[in-house]
Amino acid sequence: MMSMQGNNQLQTNSQRRGFKSLLLAALAFSLMTVCVKHLGGRLPVAEILFARSLISLAITRFMLSRVGVSPWGQRKRLLLLRGLLGTAALFCVFDALASLPLATATVLQYTYPTFIALAAWMFLRERIHRRIGIAVLLGWLGITLVLKPEWLGTSFSGYSPLSVSIALSGALFTALAYVCVRELSKQEHQLVIVFYFPLTSVPIALLFLGNQGVLPLGIDWLWILGIGLFTQLGQIWITEGLTLLPAATAGSIGYFQVLFATLWGVLLFAEPVDGWFVIGALMVLGATVISFRSRQENILK
């Protein structure tokens, strides 16, 4: 009996650590979007991705050497697939941030928890518990109220259908990449999983960049450094979180990034906040609490 209680306590602590990691990842990724938005389309998307990946590659390789772990891993095909999916997702996300308003790009990106739940059910055989399904739905509705995207009306008014499609594609690629992370975490060190992302994206970004590079000027270097740093931190924390929590649960917790992004919009871009924001924020918080408590109850059963 004592042993069972001890195991339950360890699992609960792991879930709390996963929850904290995912919140930190959401914060880091929201700061990354601020940096991308500040560049204002002055640099090609491929150049931003290349700079971000180069910084991440150097940091992750250094961290791997410090802990004495080989960077190459064992499931190389799945690691490469995770890298390709992550690269495709970032291309789409960066392009959407450059061509759409921050709020609209963010809400479109955050359709990915729905894709995560479906992909985890299809490929990992993770059950979609009713509470998790409710959390995903509640969080998505909350995001809609917080951001009030114009496309919620009658059409994608004012927005290019191509840009909207790219943003939704980014959500799909993100979901598939996170499902790969969930599967890889059963066998690979989390830093190895992170390492393969920039290892894959550096040559791909260079290929797309060609001779179209633009020399960054002044404060642009600071935003580029911020993109690399915050994306690296986000990747480390999201990988740890997905190691400790089921993919569907992790996806619903990730809705916090939308709240963070909206906060930066208010503070940095003078975007207004009204009653709909408050209601939507409470719905997002409720979705997060439901998903986390549902997971804890399953452990204790």
- Give the pLDDT confidence score for residue 300 in this predicted structure: 44
Is 3 contained in some domain? no
pTM of the predicted structure, to 2 decimals? 0.79
Is 1 contained in some domain? no
Is 2 contained in some domain? no
Is 112 contained in some domain? yes
Whether the CB-CB separation of 33 and 265 falls below 8 Å is answered with: no
Count up the domains in the chain and report the number: 1
Domain that holds residue 36: 17-300
Distance set, CA 109 to CA 165, 176, 258 (Å): 11, 13, 9
For 89-118, the DSSP string reads HHHHHHHHHHHS-HHHHHHHHTTHHHHHHH
Is 10 contained in some domain? no
Count of beta carbons in the 10 Å neighbourhood of residue 44: 19
Task: Return the beta strands (E) in the chain as ranges.
Answer: none
Is 260 contained in some domain? yes
Is 268 contained in some domain? yes
Is 67 contained in some domain? yes
Lookup: tokens for 122: 């299809």
Lookup: tokens for 13: 């602590």
For 193-246, the DSSP string reads HHHHHHHHHHHHHHHHHTT------TTHHHHHHHHHHHHHHHHHHHHHHHHHS-
Question: Rounded to a whole number, what is the largest CA-CA distance in the chain?
Answer: 66
Q: Tens of pLDDT along the chain (301 residues)?
A: 545 555 666 667 788 888 899 899 999 999 999 999 888 778 999 999 999 999 999 999 999 999 999 999 999 999 999 999 999 999 999 999 888 877 778 878 877 877 777 787 888 777 777 887 888 888 888 877 776 665 555 444 456 778 888 988 998 999 899 889 989 998 999 999 999 999 999 999 999 998 888 989 889 999 999 999 998 899 889 888 888 877 666 766 777 887 888 788 888 877 667 787 778 878 877 877 776 665 555 544 4
